[in-house]
Amino acid sequence: MNAKRTTKSNYIFLVTWSSKRTTINGFILFTLPFNLLKVHMPTYLKRALKYLALLSLIVLLYVAVVVIHGTSTDYQPEQIIPLQSTKAAAVAPIPEDSILSFITWNIGYGGLGAESNFSFDQGRMLFSGGAMVRPSKALSDKNHEGIFNFMKTTAADFFLFQEVDTDAKRSYGVNQFQRISELLPQYAATFSTNFLVKRVPLPILEPWNAYGRVESGLGSWSRFQPAEATRYQLPGEFAWPTRIFQLDRCAAVFRYKVKNGKELVVFNIHNSAHDREGELKRQEMAFLRELFLKEYEKGNYVVAAGDWNQCPPFFKFDTFMPGKTQGYHQLNIEDGFLPDDWRWVYDPVTPSNRKTKFTYQPGETFVTIIDFFLISPNVKALGIKTLNQDFKYSDHQPVWMEIQLTDGATM
């Protein structure tokens, strides 16, 4: 500790330095680097310090209330939840020689179109710094129009979507699941909640600009009626209190009867993001692997799709921008995750995801592939294509796949 005696007019101060560092839940907090030991203090300085102390107390009380409220209202789903289709499809069962088409798309809740520079992707948890917390109403409307027009003009037997809102401040209360279901009148429609928070308080020091309430999840639509639909809670979670404002990751699993007596088992998946070391994703993938193998061992057909938040095995995450990673890093699904006769199906020439730190600029914004399909050995891939929209309506692009059910390996 260093001390210094200073004088100015009739006021005397003893200034002491005692910098201190504390780590709480991954955040590094610094105390004030000095203390003022008053001998005589000007009135204006006393008043300023009182206001500062009051402001600090208000901030601490606000944070305490936010954490207590978040903890008391934290969504804690059961490990296994039966799902009910809100609409029924007319077609069942599936002919064993059918050619089936799938589209997977993370629609980014209609809030992450090309114009978005997401404050959280910039690491701004205290202040937004002028970056986007939620889109403007005009941008939200533009994104919704693009998403709904896509549904009107695109055909597939299965639509497996992620980040579909039913009621959220970020999407201005639009029930996206209901709106899409209305555009698919002949399809079974099923929703699986994975993000249910009364109020996401970020940015912490901009309560008037908080992210707000979120009700969101996985939306799944199929031209065939599922015999059974189930929500499986994926293992792993962030530490408290971060976890109370995060997604509760899950897989929505659907069983469809096939005329040959087997079942087509379809997975809609959205793996964890923001776990840079991949610990949560490893837990989730180990859990999913057991489900995949169990179904195939029964003789069933398996198709899994979604936003995996990781690249396929062996795919270089910076393929589209070699060496220009801009600080981003994307893990790969491990080699040997499944036996060699299983297939990861993706379009290697078109990116499916762009990063949202800044608005989208072709050739400058970092892009990669994290949206794709997995098929079991008794499923044959006939076609795969990422539908290039230049990220106009979401930070992800829809991926289309066509398959045929077979009796043996696809090689």
DSSP string of 290-333?
A: HHHHHHHHTT-EEEEEEE-SSBPTT--TTTTSTT--TT---PBP
The tokens describing 33, both together, are 């680097």
Q: Looking at the predicted structure, is the pLDDT value of residue 409 above 60?
A: no
Q: Looking at the predicted structure, is the pLDDT value of residue 258 above 70?
A: yes
Which range is least confidently modeled, 3-17, 56-70, 174-188?
A: 3-17
Q: How far apart are CA 403 and CA 126, in angstroms?
A: 47
Beta-carbon contacts of residue 58 (< 8 Å; ≥ 6 apart): none
Mean pLDDT, rounded, for 18-41: 46
| pLDDT band (50, 70, 90) for residue 32 | very low
Sequence spans of domains, the chain: 3-68, 81-405
Mean pLDDT, rounded, for 66-71: 89
Model pLDDT, residue 40: 66
The tokens describing 366, both together, are 């970092």
Q: How far apart are CA 161 and CA 253, in angstroms?
A: 13
Nearest alpha carbon to residue 146 among 401, 364, 345, 390: 390
Model pLDDT, residue 305: 98
The tokens describing 237, both together, are 């979670």
Beta-carbon contacts of residue 131 (< 8 Å; ≥ 6 apart): 117, 118, 119, 122, 124
Model pLDDT, residue 31: 43
> What mean pLDDT is reported for the chain?
89
- The pLDDT tens digits of the residues spanning 160-215 come to 999 999 999 999 999 999 999 999 999 999 999 999 999 999 999 899 999 999 99
Model pLDDT, residue 79: 95
The tokens describing 316, both together, are 């270089």
> Taking the C-alpha atoms of 222, 271, 247 and 185 in order, what is their torsion angle to the nearest 10 degrees?
-10
For residue 77, whether the previous peptide bond is cis, meaning omega lies within 30 degrees of 0, is no
Model pLDDT, residue 122: 81
Three-state secondary structure call for residue 68: helix
| pLDDT band (50, 70, 90) for residue 328 | confident
Q: Give the residue with greater pLDDT, 92 vs 322.
A: 322
| pLDDT band (50, 70, 90) for residue 304 | very high
Percent of the chain with pLDDT over 90: 69
Model pLDDT, residue 13: 42
Counting Cα atoms < 13 Å in the Cβ hemisphere of 232 gives: 21
Q: Give the residue with greater pLDDT, 5 vs 299.
A: 299
Mean pLDDT, rounded, for 131-139: 95
Phi, psi at 215, each rounded to 5°: -125, 110
Model pLDDT, residue 208: 92
Model pLDDT, residue 224: 95
CATH 2.60.40.1220 assigned to domain 81-405? The reply is: no
Which range is least confidently modeled, 18-32, 247-261, 305-319?
A: 18-32
